[in-house]
Protein backbone atom coordinates (compact mmCIF):
# COMPACT_ATOMS: atom_id res chain seq x y z
CA UNK A 1 0.00 0.00 0.00
CA UNK A 2 1.31 3.40 -0.93
CA UNK A 3 1.25 6.05 1.75
CA UNK A 4 0.09 9.50 0.71
CA UNK A 5 2.52 11.52 2.78
CA UNK A 6 0.77 14.77 1.92
CA UNK A 7 -2.38 13.47 3.63
CA UNK A 8 -0.39 12.18 6.61
CA UNK A 9 1.47 15.47 7.07
CA UNK A 10 -1.75 17.50 6.74
CA UNK A 11 -3.51 15.31 9.31
CA UNK A 12 -0.40 15.46 11.51
CA UNK A 13 -0.28 19.25 11.42
CA UNK A 14 -3.99 19.44 12.17
CA UNK A 15 -3.67 17.09 15.15
CA UNK A 16 -0.53 18.87 16.34
CA UNK A 17 -2.03 22.36 16.26
CA UNK A 18 -5.28 21.21 17.87
CA UNK A 19 -3.29 19.27 20.48
CA UNK A 20 -1.32 22.38 21.38
CA UNK A 21 -4.52 24.40 21.64
CA UNK A 22 -6.19 21.80 23.85
CA UNK A 23 -3.11 21.55 26.08
CA UNK A 24 -2.98 25.33 26.35
CA UNK A 25 -6.70 25.97 26.90
CA UNK A 26 -7.82 23.03 29.06
CA UNK A 27 -6.24 22.78 32.52
CA UNK A 28 -4.51 19.41 33.09
CA UNK A 29 -6.66 18.53 36.10
CA UNK A 30 -9.88 19.10 34.16
CA UNK A 31 -8.85 17.36 30.92
CA UNK A 32 -11.31 14.69 29.86
CA UNK A 33 -10.92 11.79 27.49
CA UNK A 34 -12.84 13.65 24.80
CA UNK A 35 -10.51 16.65 25.09
CA UNK A 36 -7.53 14.31 24.71
CA UNK A 37 -9.03 12.44 21.75
CA UNK A 38 -10.36 15.51 19.88
CA UNK A 39 -7.09 16.41 18.09
CA UNK A 40 -6.63 12.81 16.98
CA UNK A 41 -10.19 12.55 15.72
CA UNK A 42 -9.99 15.71 13.65
CA UNK A 43 -6.46 15.00 12.37
CA UNK A 44 -7.42 11.44 11.46
CA UNK A 45 -10.55 12.60 9.66
CA UNK A 46 -8.58 15.17 7.66
CA UNK A 47 -5.94 12.61 6.65
CA UNK A 48 -8.59 10.05 5.74
CA UNK A 49 -10.58 12.57 3.74
CA UNK A 50 -7.56 13.31 1.57
CA UNK A 51 -7.47 9.69 0.34
CA UNK A 52 -10.29 7.58 -1.06
CA UNK A 53 -11.57 4.48 0.69
CA UNK A 54 -12.20 3.46 4.25
CA UNK A 55 -9.18 1.12 4.47
CA UNK A 56 -6.70 3.67 3.15
CA UNK A 57 -8.35 6.36 5.27
CA UNK A 58 -7.93 4.25 8.41
CA UNK A 59 -4.22 3.71 7.74
CA UNK A 60 -3.58 7.36 6.95
CA UNK A 61 -5.72 8.61 9.83
CA UNK A 62 -4.01 6.35 12.36
CA UNK A 63 -0.56 7.24 11.05
CA UNK A 64 -1.26 10.98 11.15
CA UNK A 65 -2.68 10.74 14.66
CA UNK A 66 0.28 8.79 16.00
CA UNK A 67 2.83 11.12 14.39
CA UNK A 68 1.00 14.21 15.65
CA UNK A 69 0.69 12.85 19.15
CA UNK A 70 4.30 11.69 19.24
CA UNK A 71 5.72 15.06 18.22
CA UNK A 72 3.41 16.85 20.66
CA UNK A 73 4.47 14.45 23.42
CA UNK A 74 8.15 15.12 22.76
CA UNK A 75 7.64 18.91 22.70
CA UNK A 76 5.62 18.90 25.92
CA UNK A 77 8.09 16.46 27.56
CA UNK A 78 11.02 18.76 26.84
CA UNK A 79 9.06 21.82 28.02
CA UNK A 80 7.97 19.94 31.15
CA UNK A 81 11.55 18.97 31.93
CA UNK A 82 12.73 22.55 31.54
CA UNK A 83 9.97 24.18 33.55
CA UNK A 84 8.62 21.56 35.98
CA UNK A 85 11.53 19.20 36.58
CA UNK A 86 12.46 15.66 35.63
CA UNK A 87 10.05 13.65 37.79
CA UNK A 88 6.86 15.54 36.77
CA UNK A 89 8.00 15.46 33.14
CA UNK A 90 8.55 11.69 33.25
CA UNK A 91 5.13 11.21 34.82
CA UNK A 92 3.55 13.35 32.13
CA UNK A 93 5.50 11.50 29.45
CA UNK A 94 4.24 8.12 30.72
CA UNK A 95 0.67 9.40 30.76
CA UNK A 96 1.20 10.84 27.29
CA UNK A 97 2.31 7.45 25.92
CA UNK A 98 -0.88 5.90 27.25
CA UNK A 99 -2.95 8.68 25.65
CA UNK A 100 -1.01 8.27 22.38
CA UNK A 101 -1.93 4.61 22.19
CA UNK A 102 -5.52 5.45 23.02
CA UNK A 103 -5.60 8.15 20.31
CA UNK A 104 -4.44 5.84 17.53
CA UNK A 105 -7.71 3.90 17.51
CA UNK A 106 -10.09 6.88 17.26
CA UNK A 107 -7.75 8.47 14.69
CA UNK A 108 -7.92 5.37 12.51
CA UNK A 109 -11.70 5.20 12.88
CA UNK A 110 -12.06 8.89 12.01
CA UNK A 111 -9.70 8.36 9.04
CA UNK A 112 -11.85 5.47 7.82
CA UNK A 113 -14.94 7.66 8.07
CA UNK A 114 -13.15 10.48 6.22
CA UNK A 115 -12.03 8.16 3.41
CA UNK A 116 -15.49 6.65 3.19
CA UNK A 117 -17.14 10.08 3.02
CA UNK A 118 -14.82 11.20 0.23
CA UNK A 119 -15.52 8.01 -1.69
CA UNK A 120 -19.27 8.58 -1.35
CA UNK A 121 -19.22 12.10 -2.79
CA UNK A 122 -21.02 12.52 -6.05
CA UNK A 123 -18.72 13.15 -8.97
CA UNK A 124 -19.00 16.55 -10.55
CA UNK A 125 -21.09 16.58 -13.67
CA UNK A 126 -19.54 18.00 -16.74
CA UNK A 127 -21.79 19.61 -19.28
CA UNK A 128 -21.45 18.47 -22.84
CA UNK A 129 -22.33 20.43 -25.91
CA UNK A 130 -25.48 19.38 -27.62
CA UNK A 131 -25.20 18.24 -31.20
CA UNK A 132 -27.46 20.13 -33.60
Q: How many domains does one find in the chain?
A: 1
pLDDT of residue 122: 59
Which stretches within 1-132 are classed as H helix? 5-25, 33-49, 54-83, 86-120
Domain that holds residue 33: 5-120
What 3-state DSSP class applies to 91? helix
Q: List Cα–Cα distances, 19 to 6, 10, 14, 44, 127, in angstroms.
A: 20, 14, 8, 13, 44
The answer to pTM > 0.95 is no
Average pLDDT, integer, range 18-22:
86
pLDDT tens digits, 33-89: 778 778 888 989 999 999 988 899 999 998 888 887 788 788 888 888 888 888 888
pLDDT tens digits, 113-130: 999 988 776 566 655 565
**105: in domain:** yes
pLDDT of residue 124: 61
pLDDT of residue 34: 77
Q: Using CA atoms, how far apart are residues 44 and 30, in angstroms rounded to an integer? A: 24
Comparing CA positions, the residue from 65, 51, 78 lying closest to residue 109 is 65
**132: in domain:** no
pLDDT of residue 58: 92
N-term to C-term CA, the chain:
48
**65: in domain:** yes
**128: in domain:** no
**127: in domain:** no
Amino acid sequence: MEINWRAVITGFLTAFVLGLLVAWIVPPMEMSGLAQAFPGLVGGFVAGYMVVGAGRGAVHGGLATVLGGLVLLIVLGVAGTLFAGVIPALTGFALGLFVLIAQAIPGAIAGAIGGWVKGRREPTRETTETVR
